[in-house]
Chain A
Amino acid sequence: MSAEVLKTPIVSQPGAPPHPLSQFWSDFKANFGAVAGLVVIVVLILLALFADVVAPHSPIVTNNAVFLKPPFWQQGGSTAYPLGTDAIGRDILSRLIYGARLSLLIGIAVVTLSVVTGTVLGLIAGFFRGVIEIVIMRLMDITLTLPSLLLAIVIVAILGPGLMNAMLAVAIVLLPHYVRIARAAVISEVSKDYVVAAKVAGAGRLRLMFKEVLPNCTAPLIVQATLGISTAILDAAALGFLGLGAQPPLPEWGTMLADAREFVLRAWWVVTLPGLAILVTVLAFNLLGDGLRDALDPKLKR
């Protein structure tokens, strides 16, 4: 009894406050979903980087000896093509692995383009106010009013179908979110003492924008960027599915689904697997984004 009483204060003795990064990591670690998402993403990145080594076959070379071969566990399947082949004899597993490369590239490139442009526009709107702000924010409102896929479709219809144009279209569609976040953060930060102090110390406008204010609005931008990657992958795949994104023979998952549509009755694997790959990837980024938000946003801490 007395031993227990004695023990308790020693255990709960307050130490030095943990470093912000280690605090972040311990919050993040406690979230099972976020860690699972991170693991999946790391595996996908490794697969994408080492696709040439990991993939058993070429993603685009056709083999007319093996049309629509089922996966190895089904009758007629072989371990040479573990997940079967498509209608013109390409290995599904290899196409999925190379597809991971494309999808990650799409997600990262689109979000980078969108975040950089959006942040700069948001900073400008937040700093300069007045007419510039109104013009930028109205434009963003218009972009937000139209359904995202419709706007992307209109842009692709004008630029012409293809992976690059689809990526550009998705980047434009995602833009308003980053502009709004950056502008809101700037407006709330600008009146704070440290900015005033920097101004008094003679910092120029660019220095104020990028060195003082920007680092303090990164947390919401990081969260939104992570969630944006999943939206980008999903929208690009939807465009691919509609025949407006990546064009065959590129092994983009949405494009693969579009090719597979007519074989839905004969070969379940050509339809099921690419979609599963999209779902797992998008889910992983959403889990990671949710975890980052919980760990980075002190308001949500219990």
Chain B
Amino acid sequence: MLRFIFTRLSLVVPTFIGITLLVFVLIRLIPGDPIETMAGERGIDALRHEQLRKEYGFDQPVLVQYGLYLSRLVHGDFGRSIVTHEPVISEFGTLFPATIELSVCAILFALCLGLPAGIIAAVRRNSIFDHGVMGVSLTGYSMPIFWWGLLLILLFSVQLGWTPVSGRIAVQYFIEPVTGFLLIDALLAGDFGAFRSALSHLVLPMIVLGTVPLAVIARMTRSAMLEVLGEDYIRTARAKGLPYFRVIAIHALRNALIPVVTVIGLQVGVLFTGAILTETIFSWPGVGKWLIEGINRRDYPVLQGGTLLIGAIIMIVNLLVDVAYGLINPRIRYTR
């Protein structure tokens, strides 16, 4: 098992270094002088320009610059935002819980609907329900979620007035951040009004962000279940007189879940793509919205640091999924 973890790690480290190189090169490709860009439209005098060039190491050869950049990264310095002058990593840290809260709820939403839908579709293969689930999930998979969000706002916020249009919580509530997850913090503070407010703000973004994973999970569960249901041990379980429900829920589902879990792990990147759009539509104060604002303000350190941090987090999650998968399924350890 240790050897398995080490081989996986040995693949991750070069990929991460590759990402740093990629981000470094891409940002260097931006036309124009970086100091001028940082100074913005006000311009900068020649003396200060030279000072800043020295300070940021732009007078050094490119390779040295990359080395300096790496050593700063190792020390946890991801640069400072040009607009707010805050360290990128601390801005990321305050906004990231909002993104996690939204993403976790979206995945839970997708699981709660997608797993049962996929299971029933597989058990009742070729029924109307099966065709319905497959049709709906392909539609969900094809959904431009930025439009889906606008539609839901139009229906539930504007027409019916059930949910707020944007934000994370109504302005009259102030919850001291403990965990950074508003739902948990509100409960910890015992403020149920705030909890309800946070929940009602969360519902629509959660549905929007959960739509694509929901479609993927339903399709994946169905095909995994269909494969497992054809196995001999299922027939054996049925033949020895176990109730049908038990065979499906215990014998079949357990094995069918393995590919589904992997797919969920692989959805992290997809989820983040969705988070960028969802947060923009709902003004959700998370990392995705922050990155889009960073681009619109030409705040390149934010873009650079943010991309790198997100890449690192996705790689760590993928690694954990791989390792967990190796733990559940020993065959994986030896075939690679």
Partner of A148, one of B139, B144, B273, B315: B273
Which chain B positions have C-beta within 8 A of A241? 144, 146, 277
Partner of A149, one of B23, B141, B273: B273
Please state if B142 and A283 are interface contacts (CB–CB under 8 Å). Answer: yes
A158 to B139, CA, bound (A): 33
Please state if A230 and B142 are interface contacts (CB–CB under 8 Å). Answer: yes
Interface residue ranges of B1-36 to A (CB < 8 Å): 14-15, 18-19, 22-23, 26-27, 29-30
Partner of B18, one of A142, A147, A155, A254: A142
Which chain B positions have C-beta within 8 A of A282? 142, 144
Q: Within 8 Å of chain B (Cβ to Cβ): is A265?
A: yes
Chain B interface residue count, Cβ-Cβ cutoff 8 angstroms: 44
Partner of B303, one of A144, A157, A230, A254: A157
Please state if B142 and A150 are interface contacts (CB–CB under 8 Å). Answer: no
Please state if A150 and B310 are interface contacts (CB–CB under 8 Å). Answer: yes
Q: Within 8 Å of chain A (Cβ to Cβ): is B184?
A: no
Please state if B22 and A142 are interface contacts (CB–CB under 8 Å). Answer: yes
Which chain B positions have C-beta within 8 A of A157? 30, 295, 300, 303
Partner of A275, one of B15, B19, B144: B144
Given contacts A157-B295, A158-B26, A265-B158, contact A254 B273 (CB under 8 A): no
Partner of B144, one of A238, A264, A287: A238
- Chain A, residues 111-145, CB within 8 Å of chain B (1/0): the string is 00000000000000000000000000011011011
Nearest-Cβ distance from residue A125 to partner chain B, whole angstroms = 16
Q: Within 8 Å of chain A (Cβ to Cβ): is B151?
A: yes
Q: Which residue of A lies closest to B268 (CB)?
A: A147
A68 to B15, CA, bound (A): 51
Interface residue ranges of A254-302 to B (CB < 8 Å): 254, 257, 261, 264-265, 268, 271-272, 274-276, 278-279, 282-283, 286-287, 290
Partner of A150, one of B15, B307, B315: B307
Interface residue ranges of B196-221 to A (CB < 8 Å): none
A257 to B144, CA, bound (A): 11
Q: Within 8 Å of chain B (Cβ to Cβ): is A198?
A: no
Q: Within 8 Å of chain B (Cβ to Cβ): is A237?
A: yes
Nearest-Cβ distance from residue B274 to partner chain A, whole angstroms = 8
Q: Which residue of B lies closest to A231 (CB)?
A: B142
Of listed A145, A237, A254, residue having the most chain B CB within 10 A: A145
Of listed B141, B146, B153, B291, residue having the most chain A CB within 10 A: B146
Q: Within 8 Å of chain A (Cβ to Cβ): is B229?
A: no
Interface residue ranges of A201-237 to B (CB < 8 Å): 230, 234, 237
